[in-house]
Amino acid sequence: MPNELPPPVVGARFFFALWLPPAIASQLHSFSGGVVGRCGGRLMREDALHITLAFLGEVAENRLPELHEIAAAVELPKAQVQLDRVGFWNHNHVLWAGSKEPAPVLEKLAADLQKTLVEAGFLGEVKPFVPHVTLLRKLLHPGTLPEIQAHEWTAEEFVLARSWPSDRGSAYEVVARWPLK
């Protein structure tokens, strides 16, 4: 089934990402729920957990076919992803899960995709890639960060997703998928 263009949504922003497998998303969501119970914050929805490869922001509807062409041309191998640490960014009050040593192929996927998006005028620059999954937002301080069980999987695809403001924070939707070779 070919990827179809999504219907427009006012205020939608687009990004490329790796979506977490449901079992890992469920485990991380449960882990995050324990932190919320102790420290507060806004828990991310389980079905929205992802690793952003390239954030685009708003994209004109007439440029969406170009994004599909760019993504279809990506020829990188499947990537091992490991989430084995948690961190807290004080500047934006985010608790996240990341990797102590990201797989080089994962970094190459993000860099190559961003480079192509810069050349096509979707991005202004290639940004350093910090693979992470946002678990909680608006967390003032988590105290001592809990240990996390290592979660590992093989990313076999990447997606184009969109987000838009909702009454519960941002809403997310995967609008297209492409395989990693």
Residue 61 lies in a domain: yes
62 confidence band (pLDDT: 50, 70, 90): confident
Structure tokens that stand for 14 in this block: 């687009």
Residue 1 lies in a domain: no
pTM: 0.90
Residue with the two structure tokens 């005028």? 121
Structure tokens that stand for 16 in this block: 């490329």
Residue 8 lies in a domain: no
The model's pLDDT over 4-53, given as tens digits with 9 standing for 90+, comes to 666 655 568 999 999 999 999 999 999 998 888 778 888 999 999 999 99
Mean pLDDT (whole number) for 90-96 = 92
The rounded distance, in Å, linking the Cα atoms of 89 and 142 is 10
Residue 54 lies in a domain: yes
The C-alpha angle 43, 147, 152, rounded to 5 degrees, equals 80
- Per the structure, how many domains does the chain have? 1
The rounded distance, in Å, linking the Cα atoms of 127 and 89 is 17
Residues of the domain holding 101: 13-179
The model's pLDDT over 131-178, given as tens digits with 9 standing for 90+, comes to 999 999 998 777 888 889 999 999 999 999 999 877 666 789 999 999
Q: Are residues 6 and 162 in contact, defined by beta-carbon separation less than 8 angstroms?
A: yes
State which amino acid sits at residue 105. Answer: V
Residue 55 lies in a domain: yes
Residue 139 lies in a domain: yes
Q: What is the CATH number of the domain that holds 66?
A: 3.90.1140.10
Residue 70 lies in a domain: yes
Helical spans, DSSP H, in 5-134: 22-39, 64-72, 104-119
Q: Quick one: CA torsion of 29, 47, 181, 115, rounded to 10 degrees?
A: -90
pLDDT at 1: 45
The model's pLDDT over 69-78, given as tens digits with 9 standing for 90+, comes to 999 998 888 9
pLDDT at 170: 77
Residue 5 lies in a domain: no
The rounded distance, in Å, linking the Cα atoms of 36 and 98 is 18
Q: Are residues 29 and 49 in contact, defined by beta-carbon separation less than 8 angstroms?
A: yes
